[in-house]
């Protein structure tokens, strides 16, 4: 893969001087259109061997274009706020909104490559990491982002030569670190691993662009032209033509047997038993969250369910048992303007808690495959890809010691009607029934189908769905508390107490 990047590409000074002014103008124009239209973000990754001009390129792009619409991020040691969240959190946090350019210097590729070179992970671990990256970048491009990945390459001789040069000049000596020298000695390992990484992650939507890094004129002109072409092409393509992907339609089970129809909604619990169990489980939940090992895990609780299924009441039975200082409840409403300028999952990533905390989502990222699907708020392709994206998200959480508990609260159509009528007769404003509630009711069957598909496609080992028979509120609340306690207990048991 690196053959073309070892040919000794150069551009002479005269040609360079001639080409640059027009290129800069065109880049500025493209950047202006990007900022004006705010249709997509541009994400530029800069990777490659040391001394091949990575830093210079980041600076150059900032110099050529308007730095006010570029965010450059270098990812070094994670901060403590980052270290207690899934490793992708810091990259989500740094995503540019639509209309802006983000330059990632040291990206999600750095860790897997370094770890493999140092033998901290094996090939299997690397494959898994790369697979995740491909899925992540697919999500970004599906969300409309323009992703440009530049890899700056140098042959071993050229790299040595470059580092020697830098070291000789007193003005640049500081740039050559001991780590650079160590990595030069590992040139072959890095080359083999990088080639593998580039091959596995070069996709149609986000291909790698390998640039020989020795001659600055050649490097700059290549990057500039490539960026210009990519931006211009995307800017000049009508939005309707950008996504042509389509998804095969999902159909209802031909025998109309599904998970929800098999539920026994008559399950009940009597008042006395309820009160005893409520006390027991709330006490247990409280004890679990005060366990010293709880500081090493997080809990993310998702509540979904039909209107009037009792989500709010169930959530309160949980929060009652936990110290207010460690929980937060996020009711999910329409996205804000800043959220709409980002990929779909961004607004949930921003609420991912640190360790030692419980975050409850009252409705969640599943809106995409429920209401947005049923009401046609997004395309079929968009909600179809959401299943996989959500699974990836939850896997990353669970790998970072997050308990992901998901409840679907199901009531019967008759019970919903009864609750609606009851609410109508209650004076409290907060219980008002809106037109929308009645309208949703008319789509009962479409929602049921969406729920069944959701459970089939997103109930995983690491983040299973628990379906709650919720016609009896007390039964529902106890089942929820018990499930939550069990899940937390299980993960705590795997952690050794500190001496």
**Site residues, a copy of itself (CB under 8 A):** 25, 28-29, 32-33, 36, 55, 58-59, 61-63, 66-74, 79-81, 103, 105, 174, 290, 312, 315-316, 319-320, 323-331, 336-338, 362, 428-430
Least Å distance, CB 72 to a copy of itself, is 4
Nearer residue to a copy of itself within complex by CB, 70 or 302: 70
Residue 73 to residue 102: CA distance in whole angstroms: 8
Least Å distance, CB 128 to a copy of itself, is 29
Nearer residue to a copy of itself within complex by CB, 106 or 464: 106
Least Å distance, CB 402 to a copy of itself, is 19
Nearer residue to a copy of itself within complex by CB, 63 or 493: 63
Residue with tokens 């211009």: 232
Least Å distance, CB 412 to a copy of itself, is 26
Least Å distance, CB 436 to a copy of itself, is 16
Nearer residue to a copy of itself within complex by CB, 90 or 443: 90
Residue 74 to residue 69: CA distance in whole angstroms: 17
Nearer residue to a copy of itself within complex by CB, 94 or 263: 94
Least Å distance, CB 235 to a copy of itself, is 12
Nearer residue to a copy of itself within complex by CB, 73 or 423: 73
Least Å distance, CB 70 to a copy of itself, is 8
Beta bridge partners of 103: 44, 72
- Using only C-alpha atoms, the chain has a radius of gyration, in whole angstroms, of 27
Least Å distance, CB 177 to a copy of itself, is 13
Q: To the nearest 10°, the Cα dihedral for 338, 96, 109, 191?
A: 170
Q: To the nearest 10°, the Cα dihedral for 103, 6, 196, 94?
A: 0
Interior/surface letters 389-403, b for 16+ CB within 10 angstroms, e for the rest: bbbbbbbbbbebbbb
Least Å distance, CB 331 to a copy of itself, is 4
The distance from CA 340 to its chain's CA centroid, rounded to whole angstroms, is 15
Half-sphere exposure in the Cβ direction for 177 (13 Å, CA) = 4
Nearer residue to a copy of itself within complex by CB, 318 or 449: 318
Least Å distance, CB 431 to a copy of itself, is 9
The 10 Å Cβ neighbour count of residue 110 is 15
Q: Which of 66, 20, 25, 21 is nearest to 42 (CA)?
A: 66
Orientation angle between helical segments 156-168 and 187-201, nearest 10 degrees: 120
Residue 203 to residue 64: CA distance in whole angstroms: 28
Nearer residue to a copy of itself within complex by CB, 6 or 29: 29
DSSP 3-state percent helix, strand, coil across the chain (nearest 5): 55, 10, 30
Nearer residue to a copy of itself within complex by CB, 62 or 202: 62
**CB 55 within 8 Å of CB 86:** no
Beta bridge partners of 402: 298
Nearer residue to a copy of itself within complex by CB, 315 or 488: 315
**Which helix (H) or strand (E) element contains residue 468?**
strand 465-469
Give one DSSP letter per residue of 63-118, joined into a string: HHS-GGGEEEEE--SPPHHHHTS-TTHHHHHTPPPTT-EEEEES-TTHHHHHHHHT
Residue 482 to residue 476: CA distance in whole angstroms: 10
């Amino acid at each position: 893969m690196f053959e073309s990047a070892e040919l000794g590409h150069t551009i002479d000074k005269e040609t360079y001087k001639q080409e640059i002014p027009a290129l800069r103008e065109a880049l500025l124009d493209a950047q202006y259109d990007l900022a004006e239209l705010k249709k997509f973000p541009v994400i530029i990754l800069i990777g490659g061997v040391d001394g091949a001009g990575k830093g210079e390129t980041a600076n150059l792009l900032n110099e050529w274009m308007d730095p006010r619409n570029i965010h450059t991020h270098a990812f070094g040691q994670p901060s403590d706020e980052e270290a207690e969240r899934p490793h992708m959190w810091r990259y989500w946090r740094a995503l540019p909104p639509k209309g802006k350019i983000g330059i990632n210097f040291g990206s999600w590729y750095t860790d897997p490559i370094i770890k493999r070179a140092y033998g901290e992970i094996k090939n299997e671990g690397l494959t898994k990491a790369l697979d995740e990256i491909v899925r992540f970048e697919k999500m970004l491009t599906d969300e409309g982002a323009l992703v440009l990945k530049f890899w700056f390459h140098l042959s071993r001789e050229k790299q040595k030569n470059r580092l020697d040069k830098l070291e000789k000049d007193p003005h640049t000596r500081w740039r050559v670190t001991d780590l650079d020298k160590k990595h030069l000695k590992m040139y072959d390992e890095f080359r083999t691993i990088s080639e593998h990484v580039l091959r596995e992650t070069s996709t149609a939507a986000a291909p790698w662009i390998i640039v020989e890094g020795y001659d600055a004129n050649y490097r700059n002109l290549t990057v500039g032209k490539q960026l210009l072409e990519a931006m211009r092409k995307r800017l000049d393509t009508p939005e309707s033509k950008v996504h042509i992907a389509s998804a095969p339609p999902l159909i209802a089970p031909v025998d109309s047997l599904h998970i929800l129809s098999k539920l026994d909604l008559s399950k009940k619990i009597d008042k006395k038993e309820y009160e005893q169990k409520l006390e027991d489980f709330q006490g247990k939940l409280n004890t679990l969250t005060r366990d010293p090992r709880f500081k090493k895990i997080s809990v993310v609780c998702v509540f979904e369910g039909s209107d009037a299924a009792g989500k709010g009441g169930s959530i309160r039975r949980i929060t009652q048992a936990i110290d207010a200082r460690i929980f937060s409840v996020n009711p999910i409403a329409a996205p804000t303007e800043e959220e709409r300028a980002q990929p779909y999952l961004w607004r949930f990533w921003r609420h991912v808690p640190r360790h030692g905390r419980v975050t409850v989502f009252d409705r969640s990222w599943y809106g995409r495959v429920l209401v947005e699907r049923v009401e046609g708020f997004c395309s079929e392709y968009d909600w179809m890809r959401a299943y996989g994206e959500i699974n990836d998200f939850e896997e990353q959480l669970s790998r970072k010691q997050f308990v992901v508990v998901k409840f679907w609260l199901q009531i019967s159509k008759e019970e919903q009607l009864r609750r609606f009528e009851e609410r109508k007769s209650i004076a409290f404003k907060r219980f008002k029934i809106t037109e929308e509630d009645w309208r949703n009711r008319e789509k009962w069957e479409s929602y049921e189908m969406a729920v069944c598909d959701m459970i089939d496609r997103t109930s995983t080992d690491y983040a299973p769905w628990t379906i709650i028979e919720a016609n009896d509120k007390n039964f529902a609340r106890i089942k929820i508390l018990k499930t939550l306690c069990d899940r937390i207990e299980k993960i705590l048991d795997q952690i050794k107490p500190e001496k």
